[in-house]
Amino acid sequence: MKVLAPIRSLDELEMLHTAGAQELYCGLAPREWVDENPGPLWLHRRSPKGSSVESWADMRELADAARLRGLPLFATLNAPSYGPTQAPQVLRFAQRLSEECGVDALIIADVNLLAQAASLRLNARLHVSSVAATLNTEAIRFLAGLGASRVILPRSVTLAEIEHITGQTKDLVEIEVFALNDGCAFEEGFCSTTHHHSVGAFCTSLSGMKADFAWSGKYFSSRRERWLRANLEDYRAWVWYLTGNGCSATAKGLPYGPCALCALHDLARFGVASLKVVGRESSPFRKLASVRMVRHIADQVHARTARPVIIGNARALRQEPEHCDAGYMCYYQTAP
């Protein structure tokens, strides 16, 4: 069970390697794409401003340096879909990333792009992004038939579902799951909105809405209105946790936010191959702290530390148990 870390420049490589990253992933935003596809037509599900490797030369240099350290590098081409003029360009990018830059895998969401990339017989492996919303074993069998070697499960799956999926598909593909940072209020693969640096995310903005409750021009009873307002406050609290507890951190600088640390013992038992740390756009310090947290608990799992001890140690990292007790911060709920 490897720790997969986000990276956006060569300057972060040594830091992440030392912190315990065992795999890396990044996005590319070359000038030709940005010039030809202005606005929100992003190549890899993230704004090109501050979350991407910016040139082919930089990508080759990063891939070479990662290879020298024994770190596989994966590149994201994971927009939900590409238009008829974009798809051929993205396919050429896939070839260049694989054959010229030497990345180890391409992370793809668009099934059409996956099939076309597989037909090219690239050196890079093909991983299916969580944006593809792969929710069951039959979908995984289909994707494996198209050439996928790894599937990244969405955040919405449960531990019981992960156990079933890995048990049924371990001979077909590797399974990757989310370990730390960034939640999603919706099922990401079915969401048509985006996260833009100037306006934020629709789901998080929605939590700040002002609300009046009415039906056919008449207000609800006071009891129903109190119930609805309490429900809205619960939603706002949940979104607050999804956005990293208001982008806060512990006194030691460890980031809060969606987390699977308590579940790592179970995930290892299921046969999960990789633990994804989210945050290509994050600061270097946040990436460093996040990777250290996941590797710290993963090492305890590999050392066969007892499950209750691992859960206790994971909660202790958070320093404020009320956040864990709320349940909103958990990717996957675990029993004591």
Question: How confident is the model at residue 50, as a pLDDT?
Answer: 72
154-170 tens-digit pLDDT: 998 999 999 999 999 98
In the DSSP assignment, the letter for residue 51 is S
Question: How confident is the model at residue 56, as a pLDDT?
Answer: 95
Q: Give pLDDT < 70 ranges for the chain.
A: 38-40, 192-202, 204, 206-207, 213-220, 334-336
pTM: 0.89
Domains of the chain in start order, with CATH, are 2-183+252-326 (3.20.20.70), 203-237 (no CATH)
Question: How confident is the model at residue 167, as a pLDDT?
Answer: 95
> Which of 63, 76, 45 minimizes the C-alpha distance to 9?
63
Question: How confident is the model at residue 136, as a pLDDT?
Answer: 94
Question: How confident is the model at residue 46, as a pLDDT?
Answer: 73
